[in-house]
């Protein structure tokens, strides 16, 4: 079984994330959307809310699993027999950042990173932009799946 992890904070899930996951399902038998827990980071949404956003967005897709984890992504992969890390690239800066992480991960474990370019119509979207729009009472609904709703 070809399994991939799509790691991130997903604070919140964006249409860019959604697109990468949907496309990843066609490449892998299972896509594990894994929310990394970083105690140093301040989140807008709780872990439970972020997990629910993703579960609701993919409720009809049995190949998508949602989990949380602490520690190194490669350690999660080794413990869970995951051979691939799925990452989305929006721009050249993302590529440079992700390339360094991919090389480091490969040095640490026999894990391959698979990069997908984001769709042109979502390449400008980031979770930080969405959070800023939400904080300023803007229409964030154009940037996220329907499952992401602010109370």
Q: Could you read off the pLDDT of 72-94 as tens digits, one per residue? A: 999 999 999 999 999 999 988 88
pLDDT at 20 over 90: yes
Task: Let me know if 17 is a catalytic residue.
Answer: yes
Encode pLDDT of 94-144 as tens digits.
899 999 999 999 999 999 999 999 999 999 999 999 999 999 999 999 999
pLDDT at 44 over 90: yes
| Beta carbons within 8 Å of 10's beta carbon, 6+ residues apart | 17, 33, 35, 50, 53, 54, 127
Instruction: Please give the helix or strand (H or E) that residue 34 lies within, else none.
Output: strand 30-36
Rounded to two decimals, the pTM is: 0.94
Task: Let me know if 128 is a catalytic residue.
Answer: no
pLDDT of residue 140: 96
CA distance 140 to 117: 23
Mean pLDDT of the chain: 95
Q: Is 82 helix (H, G, I), strand (E, B) or coil?
A: coil
pLDDT at 41 over 90: no
Task: Let me know if 2 is a catalytic residue.
Answer: no
Catalytic-role residue among 65, 83, 90, 106:
90
Catalytic-role residue among 26, 41, 42, 151:
41
Task: Let me know if 90 is a catalytic residue.
Answer: yes
Q: What CATH topology corresponds to 3-142?
A: Rossmann fold (3.40.50)
User: What confidence tier does 39 reach under pLDDT thresholds 50, 70, 90?
Assistant: confident
pLDDT at 36 over 90: yes
């Amino acid at each position: 079984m070809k399994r991939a992890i799509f790691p991130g904070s997903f604070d919140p899930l964006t249409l860019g994330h959604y697109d990468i996951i949907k496309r990843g399902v066609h490449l892998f038998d299972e896509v594990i959307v894994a929310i990394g827990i970083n105690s140093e980071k301040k989140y807008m949404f709780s872990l439970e809310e972020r997990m629910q956003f993703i579960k609701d967005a993919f409720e009809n897709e049995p190949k998508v699993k949602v989990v949380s984890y602490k520690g190194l992504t490669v350690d999660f992969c080794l413990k869970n027999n995951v051979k691939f890390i799925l990452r989305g690239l929006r721009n050249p800066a993302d590529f440079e950042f992700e390339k360094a992480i991919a090389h480091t991960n490969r040095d640490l474990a026999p894990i391959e990173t698979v990069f997908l370019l984001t769709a042109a119509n979502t390449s400008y979207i980031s979770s930080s932009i969405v959070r800023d729009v939400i904080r300023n009472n803007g229409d964030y609904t154009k940037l996220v799946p329907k499952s992401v709703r602010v109370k």
